Structures are given as structure tokens and as C-alpha cells.
Structure 1
Amino acid sequence: MKILHYVDENRLAWMAPWIQLLKELEKRGVQNSVLCREGGTLSQELAKSGIDVFTYTPPAQWLPVFTSGIGKIVDRAKPDLIHTRLSSAAYLGGYWGRKKNIPVISTFDKYPKAKYYENSDVLIGCSSAVTAHIKKLKLPRARLIATILNPVLSKYYTRDWSARQKCRQSLGVKPGECVVLGMGRLVGWKAWDDFLRAIALIPERGGYHFWLVGSGNEEKKLKNLSAKLGIQNRIRFFPFAADVRPWLWAADLFVQSSKEPEGFSLMLIEAMAAGAVPIATNIGGTLDIVKDGVNGLLFSPSDIRTLSAAILRANHEEARASMALNAQRSAADINVGRISEETVDIYNKTLQLKR
């Protein structure tokens, strides 16, 4: 079968596992081509991987009638199905799929509005929480709704013990001390202020190192808050890291304090693959990944007392080792082989619906 994948972007945070998924789909008999925007790294990396690429930048992103270039590419690719990612691609791809009588499958990575998906025939949520959101939209053309998690290249994140030791030593971490890492965009809904307030509840003499890696419009506010809480000497801020692996390898615990639901947190699953124990809010796609007390710990949004208690609990060596091992196994289970199999199954079911 021939699939035209459409993503109206020219770079993606999840580019590497997605390209690997496309290559895995090829092994299952899928002929892939990708439509993306011009410029950026996405088209270059796809071409390097031997995947056919079409590039097009819509002159009017939300006016599909003025995007005839997409229609011409669909005619050239002659796909059996169009598979879109992200809202604008679903909106434009859905329009041209309906116009050309080609079924459109749309993957939801977040919680968007219904209007972008009105022409999609099959809807895929990247987590159970996102799928529940899709069902509430009650889209009239949707004939099939399913959940398929985003894959992770777990081997890419397998802990490098030498790099771990080097990073920890360079930042003054002594043997036996615990590194608690937060990483991501420093924006309001990520609730890093709750992370800081939880740190303030943890005894100073516990051998902890608290790190927050990332950038965003809340950075100054968070630094001011750390001073107000009297923890400015306990929390260290680091800028955005292009390669997150050394930080994940160096960490013992990984905190995700989001107060709004994540669709499917790639950073969280990467941390688990790297051997860090996740401590995360019990909302959104996180519930597909973290099982409380088994491969990590959960807490309610803004419940800083439970968060601080979870950090203390996870720092016990036996419990931490068990949860870290289970976290790595959980991450390894969400692999491109499994996800490609589930994806091909959806493709086949969609083609049967067409008949």
C-alpha cells in the first residue's frame, strides 16, 4: 500500500523515532512518501533515510482552497491513504483527501479543536487521554477511532555509565548523592513553580542535587521564586540542551510537574529509557506510561507535599533500583516494531472501510 504522510512543519522534536517508524513500516510492505514544509531539517533527514519527500509551504495555512500545490502532490504520489500529523496538516490534508476521494487518517498529538479534523475518516490518539478527547468531539466523518502510542528509540537512550559519571563529577555530585532533574520548556502550564515549592519542603541535608534544564518565558520568574523560597543555592538552572541524553543519564529521578495534561510526553519516556525514575502528575497521556509504585510515582497537579514525599520515597536505593528497571522495560516496550504493527493494522482496516 502507498501512504502519503503529511506534516505541515519543517522540523520536529520527534523526528528521529518517526523516521525510524517509517523505515519499519517499509519492512511491512508500506511504500512511504512524506509531504512537509520547505527548509529546516526534516526534509533533509528524510532524504538521507531514502524516503521520498515532497516539500510545499502553504501560502494560506487555513484556506485550503488556495493550496493547490498539495492537490498536485497528491496526484503525483497517488497514495492509497493520506496520514496526517498535527492540526494544520489534518485541516489541509483532509480537504484534499476528500476532494480526491482518498481516505485520511489523522493522528492527534495533543487536544486540538474539532474544526481541523472535520474531513478525517480515521482518528488516532497518541494516548488514551487524547483518544477520550477525540471521542468527545463527535466528528461526523470519523469511522474509526484508535489509540497508538508514539514510539521511542529506547536503545538510543540506554544509560551510558561513563557519560553519567563524567557529567555528575563535573557538576559536583558525589557518589551516593541523588540528582533530581526537571527538563522542558519553562512555561506556565509545565508548573515548574510547583517543583521549586516541593524542593523547599525537602530537608537540605539529604544529599540532593536539583537541576532544571530548559528555556522559556518563565525563566526569570522561576529564578526569582527560587530566591524567595530560599532555595537559590539548591536548584541549578541550565539552558536548553540539544542533546538531552547526558542530563538524563546523570539523573536519578525525573520530575514532570505539568498542571495541564500532556498528550504523550516524549521527554518522560526518554527519561525512563535512560534509567531515571519518573515522578509525574497523574493526568493525560502520562497514565499510559507510568504505573504508580511500579515504574515510577504519580501525584496530583500542584500537590507539592505529595511531590516532595515522592522524591524522598524514590531516593531509597532498593525502591529506586526496582522502579528504574521497570521504567526501562516499559520504555523498551513502546518500540517502533510494535507501533508499526499497530499502524499497519489501522491502514488495512481503513482500506477495508473504503470498500
Structure 2
Amino acid sequence: MKILHILDHSLPIHSGYTFRTRAILKSQISMGWQVMGVTGPRYNAPQPDPVEEEGLVFRRTPAVRPARTPVGEWREVAALVRRIGEVAAEWKPDILHAHSPALIGLAGLRAARRLRLPFLYEIRAFWEDAAVGNGTGREGSPVYRLIRRLETHIVRRADAVAVICEGLRSDLVARGIAADKVMVSPNGVDLELFGAPPPPDEALAAELGLGGAEVIGFIGSFYDYEGLDDLVAAMPLLLERRPQAALLLVGGGPMEEALRAQAAASPAAARIRFAGRVPHQQVDRYYSLIDILAYPRKSMRLTDLVTPLKPLEAMAQRRLVAASNVGGHRELIEDGVTGTLFAPDDPAALAAALAGLLDDRGGWDERRETARAFVERERNWGVNVARYRPVYEGLIAGSAR
């Protein structure tokens, strides 16, 4: 079986999007399938083409001449449709598998119809909601409604649809999409990357002034919806109960400047550390210092519908997890069993949850092992990717008929 994946961007760019792509393609190769990716014209450099990254082959779409919306977007779609056709003529795939956002899906749909190939469209998030979450869009605006209608159009005409979680599936079913048309391919973890957790990096702890501290940490992008302002606001309350607590924030993003200003003005300023962005190969050193990974996402459509990857990676590394009680987290975390859930948008509830975990060190080992076992059993990429097999085979058989 030969699957051509149609993508917004890919390796060597590092993002949650490219890491999921890498995991899917590598797992499909391990199942004996042949895979290739083709990326749109917006982000990846057009040359070299083809390019091999970590054993995966990607073809590129040349950049298009810039133009105002919507002309520029339609040019991008047309360019990607042409490139898919060129790659398919050469490589002869059995199926086209396009991954959101909607413009990539639209190009995949058009190419599939021209080539008379079965088409699966995969949604990782509703991008109109993601725009609201990162501050670049407004819920209910004309652009928001247009993107939503476009995505519904693609879903209705795709031969099959995949989503990463039940929240997205339920939303599509509520739009009138047949439930049996939508499969769930959840986020997963490559367990080969996560063995026994490394011991604390004492040199790094000393460098950051965290020696002897009970470290609460967040590693990722600083978007507003992540709720890191609530985490900073919770620190003075946490220190009242656990004076040795400290907060380590690793990463960067649109909220970094505001968070640094908030931390500097906080009574807990001396116990808050910003490490900035760190090279990917150095991230484990920072994980090794953290006792509890905190994910205080705010309550909104994006966080209620979409499951994040970071808590799964933390559980795979046998790290304690505390997360806000939003829909995306509830799909991953069983409160009191694999992690701790607390009320969203509530620094006092967050502080109480963290203090409770720090008070209960005797239960840490059991929770870590239970969480790791959950990931091995239900969020292992090998298990997840096997879910595509009956869908692919059914589409190919239907196309042959």
C-alpha cells in the first residue's frame, strides 16, 4: 500500500504538527506500507526536492506569488493541487491522506477527484478555534465562519475522516456528518524515545538556582490559551503551603513578555525561572529537574475539543501531571489515578492541587507507573496507527469496485 500524505509543513521544522506526522509515517513504514509526504507552498523551503529527513521523504511545492486574501490562498491551493498531481504521476499512490488545515484539505480533495483516488482528510484541530486561542482570530467573525464552512464542505466530500480526539468527532457529528465516517486516531507517544527518566541534572539545577527546590514546570509554547498567567498567579498561594516550591518555564511564544512582566511584579518573583527556548536535544535536562508538569489550559472551545500531546509525553516519561479540568485533558487524564485535574481559570484551585501533590510524595511512584501503563496500552503510536488499516483498505476496495 502506498500512501501520499499532504501536509502544511514537515521536518526539519520542529512543531507538534511535524512530530505527529513523523510518528504516523514511521509507524506506517514499520507496518510495511510505503509513504511519502508533499508539503504546501507556505512554510517549507522549496529546495531541495525531494528531501529526506530522519528517513522520511518529502516533496515540496514551490512558493507562489503573494497576493491579498483570498487570492493568495487560492493560488496556494492551486499550486499544491498541481504538485500533488505531479508527485502522484511519478509515484502512483493508492490513497491520498491530507492533514489539516482546511486549505491543505481542499487541495487534497481537488487532487483526489482529478486523480480518481480515495481521499482521507485528517483534522488535528479546528483552525478557526486555534486562531482564537492564539489571539489571531475572533470567534464568530466572518473569517471564522468561512473557515468553519470550508472545513465542513471538505469533510462532507471526503471518503473518510480522521480526528485526533472524541471532542472533534462529536463536533463533526453535530454538524450532520455520519458517525461511521469519522475515525479517531488519537495523539500518541513513541515509547522508544522515553525509557527510564534521567536523574536530575544537578549542574543545571545549580545554574538555575533550583537546588533543593520542589519544581513545578511547563515546557512548551507560551500561548494565551495555555493559562500560564494562572500558573504564575498561583505561585504566591503555593508558597504559603510549600515554601520550597519553584516554577520553571521553558520555551517562548506570544505571551512571553507579558508573563515575564507578571512574574517580575509577583511576590513570588524570586521563585520563578524563565529558561527561554532550548535546543530540542537539551529538553531532557530540563524535564529531569521537574517534579510536577503543570498544564493550566483555559476553558474555551479549543481546549475543550482538542487533546494536547505534552501531557502524554510527560506521562510516558513517568512524570507527575497536573492539568486543568477541560475536555481535552479529561480524554487523557483520570483524576487521582493518572494525574490531577483542577478547575480551569482558577489560580487558587491550581495552587491547592499542586500543594496536594507535593504533600503526597508517598503516592508518586504508583501514579507514575499507572500513567506510563496507560500510555503504553492506549496511546502507543503502534496501536494508534493500526486504526488506519481497515479504513484505508475499505477505501481502496471501494475505489476498485
TM, length-normalised to structure 2: 0.79
Partner of 2:60: 55
Partner of 2:204: 167
Letter in 1 for 2:339: G
Structure 1 residues 56-102: Cα deviation after superposition (integer angstroms, max 9, x where no partner): 13635434345422222222232221111121321211111122221
Q: Which moved more, 1:98-107 or 1:326-335?
A: 326-335
Q: 1:120 aligns with which of 153, 158, 161?
A: 158
CA distance in 1, matches of 2:394, 2:202: 49
CA distance in 1, matches of 2:84, 2:271: 53
Letter in 1 for 2:9: E
Question: Structure 2 matches for 1:195-206, cutoff 5 A?
Answer: 195-204=231-240, 205-206=242-243
Structure 1 residues 154-192: Cα deviation after superposition (integer angstroms, max 9, x where no partner): 3323344345444334434345x4210022222222221
1:344 aligns with 2:389: yes
Letter in 2 for 1:251: I
Q: CA RMSD in A?
A: 2.8
1:160 to 1:167, Cα distance in 2 relative to 1, 3 A:
farther
| Equivalent pair of 2:214/2:244 in contact (CA under 8 Å) | yes
CA distance in 2, matches of 1:210, 1:196: 8
CA distance in 2, matches of 1:202, 1:163: 22
CA distance in 2, matches of 1:130, 1:43: 36
Structure 1 residues 122-166: Cα deviation after superposition (integer angstroms, max 9, x where no partner): 1111111122223234358x9610111122123323344345444
CA distance in 1, matches of 2:121, 2:48: 20
The aligned length equals 353
Partner of 2:22: 19
Q: Which moved more, 1:302-311 or 1:4-13?
A: 4-13
CA distance in 1, matches of 2:351, 2:272: 14
Partner of 2:251: 214
Partner of 1:9: 9
Partner of 2:368: 324
Letter in 2 for 1:158: G
Aligned partner of residue 110 in structure 1, secondary structure:
coil
1:100 aligns with 2:115: yes
Letter in 1 for 2:170: A
Question: Structure 2 matches for 1:11-90, cutoff 5 A?
Answer: 11-14=13-16, 15-16=18-19, 18-37=21-40, 39=44, 47-57=52-62, 59=64, 60-63=72-75, 64-66=77-79, 67-87=81-101, 88-90=103-105
Partner of 1:309: 352
Aligned partner of residue 241 in structure 1, secondary structure:
coil
| Equivalent pair of 1:255/1:279 in contact (CA under 8 Å) | yes
1:103 to 1:132, Cα distance in 2 relative to 1, 3 A:
same
Letter in 2 for 1:223: R
1:320 to 1:5, Cα distance in 2 relative to 1, 3 A:
same
Aligned partner of residue 229 in structure 2, secondary structure:
helix
Partner of 1:148: 185
Structure 2 unpaired stretches of 5+:
65-71, 128-147
Note the C-alpha offset of 1:237: 1.4
Structure 1 residues 237-295: Cα deviation after superposition (integer angstroms, max 9, x where no partner): 12122322222222110111111344231222112222221111222332221111001
1:110 aligns with 2:125: yes
Note the C-alpha offset of 1:203: 2.9
Aligned partner of residue 235 in structure 2, secondary structure:
helix
Partner of 1:130: 168
Q: Which moved more, 1:66-75 or 1:146-155?
A: 66-75
| Equivalent pair of 2:45/2:60 in contact (CA under 8 Å) | no
Structure 1 unpaired stretches of 5+:
none
Aligned partner of residue 221 in structure 2, secondary structure:
coil
Q: Which moved more, 1:61-70 or 1:285-294?
A: 61-70
Note the C-alpha offset of 1:4: 0.6
Aligned partner of residue 217 in structure 1, secondary structure:
coil
TM, length-normalised to structure 1: 0.88
Structure 1 residues 25-47: Cα deviation after superposition (integer angstroms, max 9, x where no partner): 23323221211257459989972
Aligned partner of residue 106 in structure 1, secondary structure:
strand
Letter in 1 for 2:253: G
CA distance in 2, matches of 1:41, 1:229: 46
Partner of 1:238: 275
Q: 2:217 aligns with which of 181, 185, 206?
A: 181
Aligned partner of residue 4 in structure 2, secondary structure:
strand
Aligned partner of residue 289 in structure 1, secondary structure:
coil
Q: Which moved more, 1:27-36 or 1:39-48?
A: 39-48
1:273 to 1:301, Cα distance in 2 relative to 1, 3 A:
same
Structure 1 residues 91-116: Cα deviation after superposition (integer angstroms, max 9, x where no partner): 21111112222121122111232413
